[in-house]
Amino acid sequence: MTLLECPLCGGTATSHSGLCKPCETGLPRPVHPCERCSCELPVDGPWQRHCESCLLSPPGFDHCLAAFRYEFPVRELIAGFKFQADFALGRSLAVLLAERLRTSCDNAGERPVLVPVPLHEGRLRGRGFNQSLLVARVLAAQCAMPLATRHCERVRATPTQRGLGAGERQGNLRGAFAITQPARVFPHVIIVDDVVTTASTVSEIAGLYRRAGSRRVDVACLARVS
């Protein structure tokens, strides 16, 4: 029997995620997240349940579930997955996200459908894979949830979101996505992304599903930037 090596410390991977238990336990998980968008709230701040942004301008989705905070070493693990095609790293994080998703959806009234954030065909050709789709496939297998791979598509190429503010990101994404089968309505959708930064991308997609008739739209991501 071949023992797997933990990609973080080089020790023996003993957990289901492919990491060793000490490394898995030490990953930066949310401590005091906003109940809507999952950004980290100051423990001694004035907002106890929701961040200021969600109170003033609620996002298009109902709830964002983030497995981790976007900090070391999760930030580096996601970079290895996304930019170096280290699929084992992506799977490790996705398995841990699935554990949280199963718990959060135990009492869901309607069976949710997973919808990965799509890449434009040009970006997909350059990268060779859609990281959000790979995460969604792990979630579908681990949580026994249906996966809609082509129900939402990116129909307009946009400049990179890196370095843009929240308002600029929203403008950059306007009209970038479309639902390919509008007659096929999913009552409960979970949008899957690797990293949620300002939530502009997932909010844009959530708005599409709201207008299409979805009653509940949630988000699941590997990490949330605060």
Q: Which domain holds residue 216?
A: 29-224
Supply the pTM of this predicted model. 0.91
What tokens appear for 220 in the block? 């699941």
In a domain, 194, yes or no: yes
Cα separation, 134 vs 152, whole angstroms:
15
Side-chain-side CA neighbours of residue 84 (13 Å)? 9
In a domain, 79, yes or no: yes
In a domain, 52, yes or no: yes
What pLDDT does residue 156 have? 84
| Whole-angstrom Cα Rg for the chain | 17
Cα separation, 217 vs 45, whole angstroms:
28
In a domain, 15, yes or no: no
Cα separation, 5 vs 153, whole angstroms:
37
Q: How many domains does the chain have?
A: 1
In a domain, 191, yes or no: yes
What tokens appear for 50 in the block? 């929701």
What pLDDT does residue 15 have? 82
What pLDDT does residue 178 have? 94
In a domain, 162, yes or no: yes
Range list of H helices, the chain: 21-25, 52-56, 74-84, 87-104, 121-127, 131-143, 166-173, 200-212
pLDDT in tens, the chain (226 residues): 456 888 888 889 888 899 999 999 999 999 999 999 999 998 887 768 999 999 999 999 999 999 999 999 999 999 999 999 999 999 999 999 999 999 887 665 678 999 999 998 888 888 999 999 999 999 999 999 999 999 999 988 775 555 545 555 565 677 889 999 988 999 999 999 999 999 999 999 999 999 999 999 999 999 999 8
In a domain, 78, yes or no: yes
Cα dihedral angle (197, 202, 207, 213), rounded to 10 degrees? Answer: -150
CATH label of the domain that carries residue 128: 3.40.50.2020
What pLDDT does residue 162 have? 57
What pLDDT does residue 1 have? 43
Determine the residue type at 184. Answer: R
Residue 61 contacts residue 189 (beta carbons within 8 Å): no
The DSSP result for 94-110, as a single string, is HHHHHHHHHHHTTT-SS
